[in-house]
Structure 1
Amino acid sequence: MDNQHQTAVATFLAEHDLESPPENHVLDLSAEVGEIAGAVNASSDYGSSPEQIDVPRDELGDAMFSLLAVCSALEVDASAALEESLEKYEQRIGETGTPGSEGTDH
């Protein structure tokens, strides 16, 4: 992910008069992630056939679009936020051997 993508989303939203308060974009993001979860559930028979998981690429794109819209609405640099997360996970792995935060195993 880079600023080019965040800029493209912000430009699209502005050009089509779709700019909204951050909370509206968060609700859109939640709905898009729900669609991904629905695709995973349906394609894997609710987890009983994990090898069958199929998520349409456009659904992943919709979620990324929504996340970048959230970042823009909150005036957060998505690339910088991602870099911070990667550094955090690297540090956790170095310290604990796992990327999960305390109390998690993922």
Structure 2
Amino acid sequence: MDAVMQALADPSRRTVLDILRDHPATAGELADALPIARPGVSRHLRVLREAGLVDVRQEAQRRIYTLRPEALAPVDEWLEGYRILWQHRLDALHTEIARGKKARR
């Protein structure tokens, strides 16, 4: 999970993942969406591949990158504890709001 979290720490890599969430893309398409030079995009793609977040396949002269959402499962499981914490707090807030409305009546 550490490699995935480190990969997610960079805003450019998160942008790449956002694009790939919607559709597969070539390295050139990804480079066009980022304000960095193509060698930098290649380095980001290598980090994402090594973290298991993207797959690449060769089609003629092009490399097509796709998101591997299953690689995010450990992060999702880790975040679940925080979701539960916030859900309990939101439930308590809703209860207090309801009590306030009843008291005003």
Do Structure 1 and Structure 2 share a fold, with TM-score over 0.5? Answer: no
Larger strand proportion, structure 1 or 2?
2
TM-score of the superposed pair, with normalisation by structure 1: 0.26
TM-score of the superposed pair, with normalisation by structure 2: 0.26
Relative CO higher for 1 or 2, CA cutoff 8 Å, sep ≥ 6? 1
